[in-house]
Structures are given as C-alpha cells and as structure tokens.
Amino acid sequence: MQGRAEVNLLVSGVSASLAFIEQATEAGADAVLVHHGWFWKNEDARVIGTKHTRLKFLLERDISLIAYHLPLDAHAELGNNVQLAQRLGFELQGWFGQQNIAAYGRLPRAMSLQGLSEHVQTVLDRAPFVVGEADKKIQTIAWCTGAAQDYLSQAVELGVDAFLTGEVSEQTVHLARESGVAFIAAGHHATERYGVQALGQHLAENFGLKHIFIDVDNPI
C-alpha cells in the first residue's frame, strides 16, 4: 500500500484489526507494522466488507501498512519463535517443520509440567491450556507460536518432553495423551506479540524512526 513518502512514527501490533489501526491513528502513525495482514492465499480477492472498511480507513489518512507473516515467524534473530524463547528462557538448539518455522531446544533446568505451565502463565500473563501429567519432568521442548498444533506429531518424532504453541485442536489432545509428549497451548495472540515488537525496534534503531507497540488483546 502506498503511503507517506516519509515515515517518522511506526506503530506495530499483532493484527491489523480496525481497533488497532484506529489506536495507531490516534497515536499519529505514519505507518503500521503487523504480523497478520489482510491478504491471504485462496481467499476472496474482492475488496468488500471489513477489508474495504479497513483499506478505506488507511487510504483516507495516508497511512502505510506493512505486514510480515511466515518470514517473521521463522527469522533467526527477530522472529516470533526466537523472541518467545528469549522471554521463556528456552535454549534454542535447532529448527524443524515446514520452512524450518518451528524450533526445539532445552530448558535451562528441568522442571515439572506444572512448574513450566506456571512459568508460561507468569511471563505471558495468560493461563495456558495443558495436556499431560502435572508432575511430568520437562527438560527438552519444541515450540512454534500461533496456530501450530499440527506440528505436535513432528515434535513427538523429535522425542522432546513437551511441545508449546498457541492453539489447540480436538485431535491434538488425543495425540498428546497417547504419545506422552506434554502439550501447552499458550494463546495465538499471547505467543506472537514479540517478533513484531523486535522488528519495529530494529527498524527504529536503523532508520531513525520512533516506534511504539500497541497491544489489542485477543483471547485466542
């Protein structure tokens, strides 16, 4: 989307919802940077409904929209999975999954599944959904932010003690129970707030911009 030729204030957020861009506008944004944009593969290409409303809102105010989805998940320095690992204290050892988007590693010290769940809740400020025995010892872990519950089967093949992602599906619970790999769903939004903040700060530092992050909470 073409916007102002000069960007002074960059406002980042997880999703380009109307609530977010309204708040970004109030903050004086020249451009908005998000993880979840508006254009998706195989969707209806017509600019109608909520997509029309959102685009019209930005175009009338000459605000640019920048969105990075999978590249931001997978980035080895600024990506969601790296940034989440830093906050939770995971030691990243390698990558797996489609386009190496998911990560695996170790905890600095072994802890019970209940202890890990409480740690996740404290850091992310959200109570996670957990499948597994509370006293199960967790030392190795795989993780992928967002809706990556389908990677649980690959995590099982890796032989880790637990897998953490954002969302959960009905079949995920059965696989976790039968495989013995603990499963933690810590929230799509809650796990994907950090990559876009890191990218926004990186751009601010390298291009002389002012950057702020606006968090529009989402229970998913």
- 195 vs 41, higher pLDDT: 195
Same domain flag for 183 and 172:
yes
Query: In which band, very low, low, confident or very high, does the pLDDT at 73 lie, cut at 50, 70 and 90?
Result: very high
Position 85 in a domain: yes
* pLDDT tens per residue across span 80-110: 999 999 999 999 999 999 889 999 999 999 9
* pLDDT tens per residue across span 151-173: 999 999 999 999 999 999 999 99
* Residue appearing with tokens 């229970």: 219
Position 95 in a domain: yes
* pLDDT tens per residue across span 136-147: 999 999 999 999
Same domain flag for 120 and 31:
no
Position 27 in a domain: yes
Mean pLDDT computed over every residue of the chain: 96
Position 143 in a domain: yes
Q: Which tokens is 18 given?
A: 């109307």
Same domain flag for 109 and 134:
yes
Question: How many residues are given for the chain?
Answer: 220
Residue 98, pLDDT score: 87
Transcribe the chain into DSSP letters. ----SS-SEEEEEEE--HHHHHHHHHTT-SEEEEEE-S--TTS-----HHHHHHHHHHHHHT-EEEE-SHHHHH-TTTSHHHHHHHHHT-EEEEEESGGG-EEEEEEEEEEEHHHHHHHHHHHHTSPPEEES-TT-EEEEEEE-SSS-GGGHHHHHHHT-SEEEES---HHHHHHHHHH--EEEE--HHHHTSSHHHHHHHHHHHHHT-EEEE-------
Same domain flag for 176 and 110:
yes
Query: In which band, very low, low, confident or very high, does the pLDDT at 5 lie, cut at 50, 70 and 90?
Result: low
What CATH number does residue 62 fall under?
3.40.1390.30
Parallel, antiparallel, or unpaired: how do β-strands 182-185 and 162-165 relate? parallel
* pLDDT tens per residue across span 176-216: 999 999 999 999 999 999 999 999 999 999 999 999 999 99
With a cut of 50, say whether residue 3 has pLDDT above it.
no
Domain tally, the chain: 2
201 lies in which domain range?
A: 9-72+194-213
Same domain flag for 95 and 158:
yes
Q: Which tokens is 102 given?
A: 């998911």
Same domain flag for 139 and 150:
yes
Same domain flag for 144 and 175:
yes
**Sheet strand arrangement including 129-131:** 91-96, 102-112, 137-143, 162-165, 182-185, 129-131
* Residue appearing with tokens 């599906």: 169
Same domain flag for 68 and 121:
no
Same domain flag for 140 and 187:
yes
Query: In which band, very low, low, confident or very high, does the pLDDT at 41 lie, cut at 50, 70 and 90?
Result: confident
Position 219 in a domain: no
